Amino acid sequence: MVASARDVVRVTGAATARPMVLVHGFGCDQEMWRLVVPDLATDHRVVTFDLVGFGRSDVRGYDRERYGTLHGHAADVVALCRELELRDVVLVGHSVSAIIAVLAQQQAPELFGALVLIGPNPRYVDDGDYTGGFSRDDIAALLDALDSNQLAWSAAMGPAIMGNPDRPELAEELTASFCRTDPGVARHFARVTFLSDNRADLPGVTVPTLVLQCADDVIAPEVVGRYVHRAVPGSTFVQLAATGHCPHLSAPAETVAAIRAFLEGAR
């Protein structure tokens, strides 16, 4: 993955600063981080990249067997850190990538110094006493809704990508974003994301971990964030004022402050 990912890896900040790898979540690519990277890069060597199948990554590298579970993506994160020769990495994962980060840390404990989990959800489907926030029917409807939109975008955005002379900036921006996602890959990744159960992986985390919880997060409700906090040994739980699922977009300053406070506290 790493070779094909060269042009999708962006490194910002001083080479001597502590490395921080930001892994984007479901539905987007590394553009997600653009409002927090400048701030974080003042005292970190910030690495962002696109997961295989997303953004500018080579969609041909998306092997459904390898990425049939989240472990494949986690292995990619580990490989990237090794290639960049990073040590004591602060691994920041958003949404599904919070779980990818949990798996990566256990695949190569020697590489990582801290985890930041933004809106983690180890299992979306309710299961007995466990509340994931969704019923089976909800997830089925969600997958349907995602499918509908993949279709709408691929159909509607084609012309924009081909070149819209009136609004070249639109074409460029969209090219850089979701339209990059192959509908088949998006659908497969959605299934892997929403049908995985990684609860059992949480207790294995061995580094200081921050759980960042938004208010009104449909995808990662507070009850799930608290569950993750209980399950990850010695983790820190921070409730943000930000609403929704993407605090790094909706409340970048608050998000950065929370991460920084945690890292300083963990020193």
Partner 1 sequence: MDAGSTDPDPRLAALLSDDPEELFENAPCGYLSARPDGTVVKVNRTLCGWLDRPREQVLGARFDRLLSVGGRVLVQTHLVPLLRTQGEVREMVLDLIRRDGSSLPCLVHAREVRDPDGVPLLVRLTLFDATARRRYERELLAAQRAAEESEVRSRTLQRVVGELSAAVTPGDVAAVVARRSRRAVGARAAGLWLVDEPSGVGDGEPRVALAAQDGLGDDLVRELDRTTAGRVGAVLSSGVRSVPVGPQLAAAWPALAAALTAAGHTGLVVAPVAADDRLLGALAVFLGPGGSTGGLLSLVDPTGPPVLEEADVDLLATLGRQAGQALERARLHEVTRQQAERSGFLLDAARLLAGATGVAETVERLAEMVVPRLADMCLVDLVTEQGMDRAVARHGDPARQHLVDELRAWAPPYRELPHPARAAMEQGRTRWFRDVTDEWLAGVVRDPAELAAVRALELSDVVSVPLQAEGRTLGVLTLSADRRRRPFTAADVELAEQLAVQVAMVTSKAQRFDFELQTSHTLQATLLPPGPPAVPGLAIAVRYLAATQGADIGGDFYDVAPLSGDGTGQVAIAVGDVVGHDITAAATMGQLRSVYRALLVESPAPSVVVDRLQASWPLLGLQRMATALFAVLSPADGGLTVASAGHPPPLVVGSGRAGFLPVRPSPMLGAAAVPAATWRGVLTPGDTLVLYTDGLVESRTSDIDEGLERLREAAVRWSGAPPDELVDRLLTELTGTHRADDIALLALTCGP
Catalytic residue among 24, 71, 245, 248: 245
Residue type, 165: P
Residue type, 217: D
Question: Does residue 196 interact with partner 1 by CB under 8 A?
Answer: yes
148 is catalytic: no
- Site map for partner 1, 40-59, x if CB under 8 A? --------------------
CA–CA separation, 202 and 79 (whole Å): 21
Q: Which among 146, 258, 235, 130 has a CA at the least distance from the CA of 194?
A: 146
Question: Cβ(45)–Cβ(11) under 8 Å?
Answer: yes
Residue 75 is encoded by which pair of tokens?
Answer: 């292995």
138 is catalytic: no
Binding test (CB under 8 A) with partner 1, winner from 46, 86, 104, 139: 139
Q: Which among 7, 43, 48 has a CA at the least distance from the CA of 24?
A: 48
Smallest distance, partner 1 to C-beta of residue 87, A: 31
Residue 211 is encoded by which pair of tokens?
Answer: 């759980």
User: Which H or E run includes 161?
Assistant: helix 136-163
Catalytic residue among 97, 217, 235, 248: 217
Smallest distance, partner 1 to C-beta of residue 198, A: 10
Binding test (CB under 8 A) with partner 1, winner from 1, 146, 202, 263: 146
Residue 261 is encoded by which pair of tokens?
Answer: 């406070």
Of 119 and 208, which has the nearer Cβ to partner 1? 119
Smallest distance, partner 1 to C-beta of residue 184, A: 6
The terminus-to-terminus CA distance of the chain in angstroms comes to: 33
CA–CA separation, 87 and 127 (whole Å): 37
Question: Does residue 159 interact with partner 1 by CB under 8 A?
Answer: no
63 is catalytic: no
CA–CA separation, 134 and 143 (whole Å): 12
Question: Does residue 95 interact with partner 1 by CB under 8 A?
Answer: yes
Residue span binding partner 1 (CB under 8 A) among the ranges 13-21, 178-186, 228-236, 257-265: 178-186
What residues line the site for partner 1 (CB under 8 A)? 25-28, 31-32, 34-35, 68-69, 95, 123, 125, 134, 136, 138-149, 151-153, 156-157, 170, 173-174, 177-178, 183-184, 187, 191-192, 195-197, 216-219, 243-246, 249-250
Which residues are designated catalytic?
95, 217, 245
